Amino acid sequence: MTVFLVIIVLALLAVTGWQISKIFELSKKPDGDTSQVANDNDNRWNGILMLAFVIFLYVITIYCFWEYGRFYLPEAAAEHGSEYDNLMFISLGLIMFVQIITQGLLHYFAYKYKGKKTQKALFYADNDKLEFIWTIIPVITLAGLIIYGLFTWSDIMNINEEEDPLVIEIYAYQFDWRARYSGEDNTLGKANVRFIEGVNQLGVDESDSYGDDDKIVTELHLPVNRPVLFKFRSQDVLHSAYFPFFRAQMNVVPGMITQFGFTPTITTEEMRESEYMVDKVKSVNEERKERNEDLIAAGEPTLDPYEFDYFLLCNKICGQAHYNMQMKIIVESEEDYEAWLAEQPTFASTMEGSNQDQAPAAPSEDMETEEPQESEAVAVVDNEKN
Ligand SMILES: [Cu+2]
């Protein structure tokens, strides 16, 4: 009730203020031009402001390119990456070229032909030839861009099963990733949220023999130049698997499996040695060094030197710790990859280990069994829905 009264009082005060301002206006002495219609002086100012605005836009655009140009990603580290980059740069280049000219002309003409008492606007009804030209040019350009985009899209999205891609499941949950390698048979075992229990964090179906040799890991290792097919699965909410260096992104949707395939072409080591990365790492470390001086002075722990690694990020705001949802990716030679994979335990051995020692909350060596509480709650809801 008090709130209601306060609102009424505030509204009445506002009305009073408005009425008083009107009285002041009426009591003012007439000083020449009191008309509401714009005069030559108003028009001149509007013209100048129109011109100033477009100059401001161009200056700020140039500044952004100059200042933030260094934040571009380096050369794509996947086979389809150059196609993707070309499509983006051609589309952006064309749009920017047209926009700079048309926007500039629009504002310049608004300035040049600003209203004047002595000038009268020309009545110009239509011109078929002009209309034809400004319709057909955008139609051809846009159709070209769209067709080019569609071809690029189908090139990138089509997975050639004959190339025998390495099948890896990427599993998302609040707030981390797991990768499941499909093992010797290159076939993933079935999985369902219903089977999530204890160390079986991904809900792999124990009765499906394809799953026995699957390997669940917390770090993604990829052999260079071998096609990889990723199958994405989410435990709880919508996530998005984003591999910026490989120019790949795919939604990770609860209740369905999405997929994306690419072939990594640059190993982590090669990327670290590239000119772009050497410069970047140097500049990051210089910043860290400066920061460390402050931290030492404040008696706080210092930052480690930065070293480049590829990573997989979540690109959908999926909850509180979304920003922290990332997984390291290591692209390496086939031999290094095989050696690393051989060390990882299979799903069957992990389950056997956990069945043997039935100690409460027996932690397995390779997997964290602790899960954020939210994800457990969501998994239960998901079960009920199924
Ligand atoms: Cu996420």
Judged by DSSP in three states, 238 sits in coil
φ, ψ dihedrals at 67, nearest 5°: -80, -40
CA of 258 to the centre of ligand 1 (A): 15
pLDDT at 81 over 80: yes
Q: Which residues contact 323 (CB under 8 A, 6 or more apart)?
A: none
pLDDT at 115 over 90: no
CA of 159 to the centre of ligand 1 (A): 25
CA of 241 to the centre of ligand 1 (A): 8
CA of 142 to the centre of ligand 1 (A): 35
Q: Are 230 and 170 in contact (CB under 8 A)?
A: yes
pLDDT value for 384: 38
CA of 198 to the centre of ligand 1 (A): 22
pLDDT value for 17: 93
CA distance 187 to 213: 9
Percent of the chain whose predicted confidence (pLDDT) is above 70: 90
Closest of 153, 329, 331 to residue 243, by C-alpha: 329
CA of 238 to the centre of ligand 1 (A): 7
pLDDT at 104 over 80: yes
CA of 63 to the centre of ligand 1 (A): 33
CA of 240 to the centre of ligand 1 (A): 6
Q: In the structure encoding, which two tokens stand for residue 9, read together?
A: 């009082």
CA of 262 to the centre of ligand 1 (A): 21
CA of 246 to the centre of ligand 1 (A): 19
Condensed to tens digits (0 to 9), the pLDDT of residues 27-41 reads 776 666 667 788 888
How many CB atoms are closer than 10 A to CB 175? 20
How many CB atoms are closer than 10 A to CB 88? 13
Closest of 309, 305, 314 to residue 331, by C-alpha: 309
CA of 172 to the centre of ligand 1 (A): 7
Condensed to tens digits (0 to 9), the pLDDT of residues 329-382 reads 999 999 999 999 888 888 777 777 777 655 444 444 444 444 444 444 344 334
What are the residue ranges spanned by the domains of the chain?
A: 40-116+127-157, 164-272+302-355+374-385
Q: What is the pTM of this model?
A: 0.72
CATH topology (fold) of 164-272+302-355+374-385: Immunoglobulin-like (2.60.40)
pLDDT value for 351: 76
CA of 260 to the centre of ligand 1 (A): 17
Task: Give the pLDDT band (50/70/90) at residue 47.
Answer: very high
Strands 239-243 and 228-234: unpaired
Beta bridge pairs of residue 169 = 180, 231
Task: Give the pLDDT band (50/70/90) at residue 182.
Answer: confident
CA of 325 to the centre of ligand 1 (A): 6
CA distance 19 to 23: 6
pLDDT value for 140: 95
Continuous H helices in the chain = 2-27, 40-68, 81-112, 128-157, 268-273, 275-297, 334-343, 347-356, 373-385
Q: Which residues contact 212 (CB under 8 A, 6 or more apart)?
A: 183, 189, 346, 347, 348
CA of 322 to the centre of ligand 1 (A): 5
Closest of 197, 235, 174, 201 to residue 381, by C-alpha: 235
Mean pLDDT of 177-200: 83
